[in-house]
Structure 1
């Protein structure tokens, strides 16, 4: 009985102690709150200094709960067997559930479960040797230094294969290709140091479609000479930061670390990058490691319409500052930012190398730019669209208006062209002519593949010390680097790179061997690509080249291949294109037929003049097509005077007929000395529409016989253009001013980016304006002419004189 009383007394003492501590904690908490409010008032600080950290902490906590919940669900799916996975959420279902040609491989998952503990050493070496130096370099660009891995443990949850598809059609007989739905949601434990602070990564997850290429087939074991591993598109990646790095695990800052991780995986094994594994010494490394692009996809992001308004102004919803991002595998291209515009016109061109036609997707995303911390995703999402590259290849070229997905509204005008790779140097002339027609300096005519094999007898970087050499290969502005070989005068790199070449007749490939520690140049080599044009099939295989500024016997071994880009053959009509929707892992979910949409209505209008008909690039605006083009079916007017096309970018053509109501207004006379019907002078113009460049091109040649009302005030004329019906600031164009002249000569080209379908609804207002006020009581506009673009066949160049008319009254 006494023992019971003793235990009760001790329990009451503990309870009393806990109550005292609780009272003290509550007192200190309330005292701290009162002190904080007092300090805010004492120093005249805003209450926002107190509320903002509280709100920020609550938002961060809720975000972490949501992220942790997703990771736990994915981890549970990775641990489940096949029967349990069937009952999971739709997002966690394996690929074989969606696609009948994807086979279940649960027996592979059981094997992986057994060998998983033995994969830890291989993973540790991969992280330390390949990923760590690249992550360190990427973080240094954001002023974060000293990154290194400390501990790397894979954990007990193995990799999981959701399904396998083996290709048996339209492939090389000397290789085996299969796609694996790869899913890893493990309990790994990775720790690292960054800027002297220790952090960690747990619950790392990755989901994507990985392709395995086994080639070449050989007659001895293991029957395959090697493997190529790569992701077709960027995989979905997520992880949880722990330790001091947990402070960065919040919306915005965590995006920076995730972006760096995604970039490193993309640089290592997302197309066009591949991870080669050599299995047999009978196979040269060049067959596995040299780049093998199947072609080049040329993308033209023309414009967008009716985008969402994301910026907030004083009066409510403002506009957006949109830009577009084009992604193909690890390749990413970004358009310029157009400020305060929901109908931007980018006229942006880019070229992406395609290494696999099967299942590779090109994605176009539109974003609203917002200022913020560099490297952090501050921008607002405006929508995306995705296309299957193989469908673009079948069409040859496509020109589409597409609705943006995952957005309330918005449309994107995009044009794509498939470029084949030719090993005939005779195709170069046509490729150069095509890029000149585009008038885009960034376009390429050829593709160069460089394989850096090895070097021999490199000089010492320091006395009695072997160098740590790496190679820098550059063509034009692009530069690529090999890995560093430690303390080796005879290094073997075996790395391949691909370069887009503007003009092989003028470009040169430069190779430099550098010591990493001293940054000393160990050798230099330059090779003009004109020499490669004359080589058999434009190839050089494992050739030794002597390095300049090095030892007398120092050589580097390279393989070079040059391919000319030529427009792919057009199959059928480009009036439709298969756009592909995918899940987060890049697995195709559904295909959908899209038809060209006119931006004004958003409806399909088959048979309208706005539809684009695929035409080989070599036929765009060629002289033969202009000379031999079919005549118009409309009743023709009497021929205008023969024009002199001074400085015109295209051949001269006759003026297309106009409707009867416009004949008098835009009449052309047979005498260039005439001042026109209204006595206000005449203007000579060239008009044409470039289908390839999606541009309306106007050449202002000259103005003749402007009236001189006062000899003391000779006009200073210039020409101003507007696109009607809206007379907006964006559609305004003007020439230079010619001083004291009634017969000014300009020969100046002005352009508008617009789709062919828009021509039917636009008018061009051409005004001759003076900067002198000799019309003191009137307008500075001396005369103007309004042309309805629908009345002309602008695919043919039109050069003619037009009578200037009095200014049209504006409403």
Structure 2
């Protein structure tokens, strides 16, 4: 009886709750409809304009659409995070595991099982990391909006997933192990915070990126591994959902402010060149894990862009754009100036980025159309992006390229890149200084300075006898970096590493200050002329104490210093690069000169002949040493351009020949096609010279998505394009694809019913495109 009574009571309670909820919902619905009717009546009574209604309604519709799209992406990501590996592949989700695409990446489902078991413990460590480090940085960045504090941090029960793992074993030091993990996190976190007393929250936090874990050094005692270095090779993609009162920020433009801050702080902690070191053994020196280890410096020259999309609205429809470019190399970001009212901007912008892993890092260029907006919000329109692998530039030494923009209907960007290796020979400084003087770029560097701030001793105390809260500031030119603050100590230990690009080590001075955060007083000063490293072995000073100029005469700072001279990989490439950098229009001058050269014959005995799909001849690029070579790019770029006059043959069908470079990027999963030039197009009517251009399609699925098109060259039978195009395609699909290259003319030729002048279909399965193929192809009649 008692059990039956309890069931009846529970039933009554449930019915009452349902009735209460139903009644509450009905009352809410009535009030909502009444308020709408009342507002409409008030608007009519006060004779308000309909424009007062259109604005808010349009804003609400845009916000709802934006939130629906964001929620759809997050739901898909959460579903893939909770699904096993087999179901993810069968569902054909866009972000498939890395081992599906890359043959050298291994499946990692066993690691995911370990992660799931360890997640509660990792969860606790990450919570402490967020509260101890990230909270302070966020509070500092959001100070203008008010005080910021995390109230609750729950990362949930869903652990990160590893889509694949790659362990490097070739040419690796025996004292370390390097692993790349394709990390994907879409958890059920619940993070609450307050901003100036306003409560908000973050849910559905998602992160995807390539995480590198370096186990070093390997030691002979337990735990065998002395420490870890954890970092992202490039900026990971991050997304999250705002909840609570601050949900009003979660709309296009305004919500980007908080996301940008979060991305910047993650980059500052663990995106190259920044690393998160974890010491596992007391026998390992902290310097082995924390001192920066750059492999070289990448010099980027963003010259110009052309044919960008028009994003601004003018009086007569679409106007032009106000373009600028943002260059990212890992966590390092650079921005060009904004060029007003043009779709063909010329920036002539130079920047230099330190590279810690040339085999994995990327250079990304994002082009934007600037639009006025509220401070901290993002209202600029994207004009496209380009991605370049650092490994290719480091292999060639330098490169000069026009890149077709991705995620844009049209547009190209012109960049030059130079790889600078690090030399311990101080005599290399003379050549580096001569180059910077010739280029006349004030921001150019000739050396790289690495500092490791270990500790300080006997710092002076305040008059109150309380110990200071010391930190160190390092200043070179206008670049200032700062260590963390150590609380209440006269013998602080920082163990932090820093890097600086140096303009001229013979004259530059490094300014070091030790400050007390509590009082703002200077505890010590030190000015170091970098020329002091010139006569040191390998240009290095290891863990040396330096006396401070201010404070107690026993006060010292202990640190290490390394100086490295920037040197081009191939010195022979330096001279043509210098001549090119002196003017933006060098390429066009070179092309005009090429067309004026007298004809010359090429020996057919040195040619290697291969049949293409259409029966055309593929002529491998072999040029005798006596043949003149004129190029609009440096010889070190790896692509040799031959002028039209050097190829007298009109091909097997008499329709001319086209020079292409084909290459496949395994890391970026992209087929790169470079249209160099066309030689000896037939001219049957001297009064009707063709205006040639080139169209590309990927077969067998000819579609608008695979269509690419070069610019039109007016009145020319030997046009030069030097345009680059990319296709996103997996390596497995590459063997089943064909590239259709069609040469057309903008003019309608009188002797033909079509504007097609010739065509070649390249069977991509015949080539190993992981190595660049630079070849001449004979044009054939069009295949219907």
The question of a shared fold, defined as TM-score above 0.5 by the shorter chain, is answered with yes
Change (3 A) 1:610 1:507: farther
Distance (Å, rounded) in 1 between the aligned partners of 2:181 and 2:22: 60
Report whether the alignment pairs 1:50 with 2:67: no
The question of whether the paired residues in 1 share the 8 Å contact of 2:400 and 2:637 is answered with: no
Change (3 A) 1:594 1:232: farther
Could you list the per-position Cα deviations for residues 137-186 of structure 1 after superposition, in whole angstroms to 9, with x for gaps in the alignment? 2223xx22311212111101011111100111232232211100001100
Give the aligned partner of residue 674 of structure 1: none
The question of whether the paired residues in 1 share the 8 Å contact of 2:397 and 2:569 is answered with: yes
Give the aligned partner of residue 418 of structure 2: 417
The question of whether the paired residues in 2 share the 8 Å contact of 1:597 and 1:603 is answered with: no
Give the aligned partner of residue 350 of structure 2: 349
Distance (Å, rounded) in 1 between the aligned partners of 2:291 and 2:533: 17
Aligned pairs for 1:179-194 (under 5 A) are: 179-194=180-195
Change (3 A) 1:421 1:27: closer
Distance (Å, rounded) in 2 between the aligned partners of 1:387 and 1:269: 21
Change (3 A) 1:593 1:563: farther
The question of whether the paired residues in 1 share the 8 Å contact of 2:677 and 2:718 is answered with: no
Give the aligned partner of residue 222 of structure 1: 223
SS at the partner of 1:112? helix
Q: Which structure is larger by alpha-carbon Rg, 1 or 2?
A: 1
SS at the partner of 2:266? helix
Aligned pairs for 1:77-88 (under 5 A) are: 77-88=80-91
Could you list the per-position Cα deviations for residues 59-79 of structure 1 after superposition, in whole angstroms to 9, with x for gaps in the alignment? 212211221121111111111
Could you list the per-position Cα deviations for residues 734-783 of structure 1 after superposition, in whole angstroms to 9, with x for gaps in the alignment? xxxxxxxxxxxxxxxxxxxxxxxxxxxxxxxxxxxxxxxxxxxxxxxxxx
Question: Structure 2 residue aligned with 1:30, among 16, 32, 37?
Answer: 37
Q: Normalising by the residue count of structure 1, what TM-score does the alignment of the two structures yield? A: 0.69
Give the aligned partner of residue 292 of structure 1: 293
Deviation, structure 1 residue 595: 5.5
Once the two structures are overlaid, the 10-residue window that deviates more, 48-57 or 521-530, is 48-57
Question: Structure 2 residue aligned with 1:66, among 69, 75, 80?
Answer: 69
Deviation, structure 1 residue 268: 0.3
Give the aligned partner of residue 126 of structure 1: 129
Structure 2 residue runs without a partner (length 5+): 1-15, 574-634, 641-660, 679-690, 694-709, 724-784
Distance (Å, rounded) in 1 between the aligned partners of 2:287 and 2:526: 21
Report whether the alignment pairs 1:101 with 2:104: yes
Deviation, structure 1 residue 196: 2.0
The question of whether the paired residues in 1 share the 8 Å contact of 2:692 and 2:712 is answered with: no
Question: Structure 2 residue aligned with 1:116, among 110, 119, 124?
Answer: 119
Report whether the alignment pairs 1:91 with 2:89: no
Aligned pairs for 1:256-335 (under 5 A) are: 256-335=257-336
Distance (Å, rounded) in 2 between the aligned partners of 1:74 and 1:13: 36
Change (3 A) 1:315 1:425: same
Distance (Å, rounded) in 2 between the aligned partners of 1:13 and 1:513: 66
The question of whether the paired residues in 2 share the 8 Å contact of 1:293 and 1:353 is answered with: yes
Give the aligned partner of residue 391 of structure 1: 392
SS at the partner of 1:213? strand
Give the aligned partner of residue 739 of structure 1: none
Give the aligned partner of residue 670 of structure 2: 590
Deviation, structure 1 residue 462: 5.4
Could you list the per-position Cα deviations for residues 648-675 of structure 1 after superposition, in whole angstroms to 9, with x for gaps in the alignment? xxxxxxxxxxxxxxxxxxxxxxxxxxxx
Report whether the alignment pairs 1:166 with 2:193: no
The question of whether the paired residues in 1 share the 8 Å contact of 2:168 and 2:177 is answered with: yes
The question of whether the paired residues in 2 share the 8 Å contact of 1:387 and 1:579 is answered with: no
Question: Structure 1 residue aligned with 2:638, among 536, 557, 574?
Answer: 574
Aligned pairs for 1:423-442 (under 5 A) are: 423-442=424-443
Report whether the alignment pairs 1:155 with 2:156: yes
Distance (Å, rounded) in 2 between the aligned partners of 1:357 and 1:73: 33
Distance (Å, rounded) in 2 between the aligned partners of 1:382 and 1:24: 46
The question of whether the paired residues in 2 share the 8 Å contact of 1:504 and 1:529 is answered with: yes
Distance (Å, rounded) in 1 between the aligned partners of 2:20 and 2:212: 68
Distance (Å, rounded) in 2 between the aligned partners of 1:560 and 1:49: 65
Distance (Å, rounded) in 1 between the aligned partners of 2:390 and 2:27: 71
Give the aligned partner of residue 489 of structure 1: 490
Aligned pairs for 1:504-653 (under 5 A) are: 504-569=505-570, 573-575=637-639, 588-594=668-674, 602=710
Distance (Å, rounded) in 2 between the aligned partners of 1:486 and 1:269: 24
Once the two structures are overlaid, the 10-residue window that deviates more, 553-562 or 483-492, is 483-492
Give the aligned partner of residue 444 of structure 2: 443
Distance (Å, rounded) in 2 between the aligned partners of 1:491 and 1:188: 37
The question of whether the paired residues in 2 share the 8 Å contact of 1:149 and 1:193 is answered with: yes
Deviation, structure 1 residue 466: 1.2
Once the two structures are overlaid, the 10-residue window that deviates more, 513-522 or 301-310, is 513-522
SS at the partner of 2:255? helix
Give the aligned partner of residue 339 of structure 1: 340
Distance (Å, rounded) in 2 between the aligned partners of 1:213 and 1:13: 59
SS at the partner of 2:434? helix
Question: Structure 1 residue aligned with 2:140, among 120, 128, 137?
Answer: 137
Deviation, structure 1 residue 216: 1.6
Deviation, structure 1 residue 610: 9.1
Distance (Å, rounded) in 1 between the aligned partners of 2:40 and 2:350: 58
Distance (Å, rounded) in 2 between the aligned partners of 1:507 and 1:501: 8
Change (3 A) 1:30 1:476: same
Could you list the per-position Cα deviations for residues 332-372 of structure 1 after superposition, in whole angstroms to 9, with x for gaps in the alignment? 11111111111111111110111001221101121111111
Deviation, structure 1 residue 608: 8.0
Distance (Å, rounded) in 2 between the aligned partners of 1:475 and 1:600: 53
Change (3 A) 1:501 1:35: same
Structure 1 residue runs without a partner (length 5+): 1-9, 613-811
SS at the partner of 1:247? helix
The question of whether the paired residues in 2 share the 8 Å contact of 1:461 and 1:522 is answered with: no
Aligned pairs for 1:737-752 (under 5 A) are: none
Distance (Å, rounded) in 2 between the aligned partners of 1:15 and 1:544: 76
Deviation, structure 1 residue 17: 12
Distance (Å, rounded) in 1 between the aligned partners of 2:272 and 2:692: 37
SS at the partner of 2:501? strand
Deviation, structure 1 residue 106: 1.1
Q: Normalising by the residue count of structure 2, what TM-score does the alignment of the two structures yield? A: 0.72
Change (3 A) 1:24 1:238: closer
SS at the partner of 1:271? coil
Change (3 A) 1:419 1:17: closer
Deviation, structure 1 residue 323: 0.8
Distance (Å, rounded) in 1 between the aligned partners of 2:82 and 2:447: 49
Give the aligned partner of residue 638 of structure 1: none
The question of whether the paired residues in 2 share the 8 Å contact of 1:222 and 1:279 is answered with: yes
Give the aligned partner of residue 403 of structure 2: 402
Distance (Å, rounded) in 2 between the aligned partners of 1:301 and 1:161: 36
The question of whether the paired residues in 2 share the 8 Å contact of 1:388 and 1:579 is answered with: no
Distance (Å, rounded) in 1 between the aligned partners of 2:124 and 2:532: 47
SS at the partner of 2:376? coil
Could you list the per-position Cα deviations for residues 76-103 of structure 1 after superposition, in whole angstroms to 9, with x for gaps in the alignment? 1111112212222331311111111111
The question of whether the paired residues in 2 share the 8 Å contact of 1:401 and 1:597 is answered with: no
Aligned pairs for 1:456-471 (under 5 A) are: 456-461=457-462, 463-471=464-472
The question of whether the paired residues in 1 share the 8 Å contact of 2:155 and 2:189 is answered with: yes
Distance (Å, rounded) in 2 between the aligned partners of 1:352 and 1:94: 30
